[in-house]
Amino acid sequence: MAGGMRVATFYELTGILSWTSSSPSVATVSGGLVTGASPGTSTITATFNDLRYHVGSTTCDYLCPEIYQNFSGSASGSVKPTITSVSPAQGLIGTTISGITITGAGFGTTPTVNAGTGITVTYGSKSDTSITANFVVATNATAGNHSVTVTAGGQTSAAKTFYVQVPSKLSISSTGSLITITDGNVVDYYDNILRTHRCGVYRNVVSALRDQQGGTILGGDFTLTESFSNYSTTLIPNPGAPPTQSFDENTSIQVLADTQFFGFVAPGCPASNDHEAFDQSFGITIGSTSFPLSTVYHIERGKYSGTYKVDVTVKTP
């Protein structure tokens, strides 16, 4: 320009100089990408420069440095453990559910598990991605959904659900064939001989134990009690209702099977109209705690107008 004056033009250049992590064992950072390494908290710091140039100085012709400063910014973040699954995710109240596997990531080497009120957790093995544990469920544990969390490095995961089952009812799973015998054995579902030299009719019935939402209960030691009411018969004299019976059960080992038999010691056999009917009710005992079931079966068995039958129907679900 006239008179030799120059017009100053400014440029500003900003760039990251470095990234650092206060706890590299928790999180590392490279090029701005933060990667979690283990549970805990770390502070990530970025240091950058602000360098300004101008054109038109009396002492230099091009890109003369004007201002040069370093700045930094920090932010803290946490690395939390993550649960992907709990298996099995349900179990019977008042029992110990062994071998539960909790899978995920970021558990570290000394994680702890919390499964809510009434569940005590004991441990098998622990690794960064898997925990095996036993859930000892008290008989007064909260029924239904429990939140399961893993805590490691002072950080607690989001929850997964474990469901505490309460025995509530039965349902008929299968009904075996009607078997008539004139001088034979009464054989249960497991091929055990219950009676010998009998004449009459029997049928094996298999039931499933259901929880408060109708789910199947598999596993857990308990006592099943059967009681009988509303008895009627054509037999003279009237023998009365069957006595109350109790059985030790575990549905992870075997199904709940019942044998309904009507007859006599051979060679005596039922007459053409000898039969009986009654209601069958149930209860579950775990430890010293009783859980009455809502289910009532109605049983009709014997000989009706010369025809044998054993019918088991659900009177109350």
For the residues of 186-252, what is the DSSP string, one character each?
A: EE-TTS-EEEEEEEEEEEEEEEEEE-TTSPBP---EEEEEEEEEEEEES-SS---SPPPEEEEEETT
DSSP, residue by residue, 57-72: -SS-SS-EEEEEEEEE
What integer pLDDT is reported at residue 24 of this predicted model?
Answer: 74
pLDDT of residue 50 exceeding 60, the answer is no
Same CATH fold assignment for domains 82-165 and 169-316: yes
CATH class of the domain whose range is 169-316: mainly beta
How much of the chain is helix, strand and coil, in % rounded to 5? 0, 65, 35
Neighbours of 226 (CB within 10 A): 16
Q: What is the mean pLDDT of the segment spanning 105-119?
A: 94
Residue type for 180, please?
Answer: T
pLDDT tier, 173 (very low <50, low <70, confident <90, very high otherwise)? very high
Tell me the CA distances in angstroms from 280 to 43, 205, 214, 244, 294, one per residue in order.
Answer: 67, 13, 20, 10, 11
> Hey, is 35 helix, strand or coil?
strand
What integer pLDDT is reported at residue 31 of this predicted model?
Answer: 59
Q: What is the mean pLDDT of the segment spanning 34-41?
A: 64
Residue type for 163, please?
Answer: Y
pLDDT single digits (tens) 183-228: 999 999 999 999 999 999 999 999 999 999 999 999 899 999 999 9
| CATH of region 82-165 | 2.60.40.10
Q: What dihedral do alpha carbons 186, 187, 192, 196 form, nearest 10°?
A: 20
What integer pLDDT is reported at residue 153 of this predicted model?
Answer: 87
pLDDT of residue 177 exceeding 60, the answer is yes
- What's the mean per-residue pLDDT of the chain? 86
Domain ranges for the chain:
2-79, 82-165, 169-316
pTM (2 decimals)? 0.77
Q: What is the mean pLDDT of the segment spanning 29-38?
A: 60
pLDDT single digits (tens) 121-143: 999 999 999 999 999 999 999 99
